[in-house]
Amino acid sequence: MGYISVKGITISSYPHKERDRVVIFFSDELGKIKANMRSVRSGNSKRSGLSDEFLYEKILLYQKNNWFTVTDVTLIDAFVKAKSNIDNYKVFSYIRELVILLVPFEQPDTQIFDLILDTIKMLELIDAPDTILASFILHFLKYTGFPVKLPKEVRDTYYFHPETGGFNNFKGTTVDQETVKEIIFLASTPIKNINPVDNAKIILRLLNNFIIYHADSSHFNKFLETIEKLSNI
């Protein structure tokens, strides 16, 4: 119990009581946490807007038993440039969904924290949301214990199937050599050093099937349906 100072990225939030919001943060010191932000829904609150999604903030928390309360918060970065490009909404949506779906609460993980931060910063540097998203997913799956199995040798034909953990020699969707090279590049290169690839949409389809197999498929399927509908607007 006591006060804890962290840096965190707001992932999601929901109303609590009459004026509060419970915010899901991914923090540098504590991992994914829930914290109550008091009076943030009040019209004259100085904290109005500070519970919005994907803000990078310095947060002072008070912990009592298993409950965190935000006692002070300072905005570090609102990622305005990244959010100004409507094509980036899909990347933000995936980050939110995968963090909520696959990351347990209160397990510190600086790799995931840095990955989320670097991913959003890349959205401000290059206009390649599908490439950035594919890279994010590959690294995220590795850090959460679901690494995609990559091919170990050059072959004429590559197969990809979630049941085998990814690439294998006999089963699944056939994948051409160029796409395989791009997957290996994105999986082995820090996200802040990547450049756009040509087959990002194909890679995303493979990764979506991988996540559906290894996670809560019904929940993730509904998410993908929503993304597809929004993409067609």
Q: What is the pLDDT of residues 138-147, one digit of tens each?
A: 999 999 999 9
Quick one: pLDDT at residue 20?
87
| pLDDT recorded at residue 196 | 98
The predicted structure's pLDDT at residue 232: 54
Q: The tokens 């609590």 sit on which residue?
A: 16
152-174 burial by CB neighbour count: b if 16+ within 10 A, else e? eeeeeebbbbbeebbbeeeebee
Identify the pLDDT of residue 233. Answer: 36
Domain ranges of the chain: 2-77, 80-231
The CATH number assigned to the domain with range 80-231 reads 1.20.1440
User: Which DSSP string do the residues of 21-82 spell out, in sequence order?
Assistant: EEEEEEETTTEEEEEEETTTTSTT-TTTTTTSSS-EEEEEEEEETTEEEEEEEEEEE--HHH
User: Model's pTM, two decimal places?
Assistant: 0.92
Q: Which residues contact 94 (CB under 8 A, 6 or more apart)?
A: 133, 136, 137, 227
- Which residues of the chain, if any, have pLDDT below 50? 233
Write the CATH number of the domain with boundaries 2-77.
Answer: 2.40.50.140
Q: Report the distance separating Cα 164 and Cα 159, nearest Å.
A: 10
Three-state DSSP class for residue 5: strand
Q: Going along the chain, which residue ranges are E strands?
A: 2-16, 20-27, 31-37, 56-64, 67-77, 158-161, 166-168, 173-175
For 181-221, how does the pLDDT look when each residue is reduced to its tens digit (9 = 90+)? Answer: 999 999 999 999 999 999 999 999 999 989 988 886 677 77
Q: How far apart are CA 61 and CA 35, in angstroms?
A: 8
The residues pairing with 22 across neighbouring beta strands, listed in sequence order, are: 14, 36
Report how far residue 98's alpha carbon sits from residue 173's, in angstroms, rounded to the nearest whole number: 24
The reported pLDDT for the residue numbered 220 is 79
Q: How far apart are CA 206 and CA 166, in angstroms?
A: 9
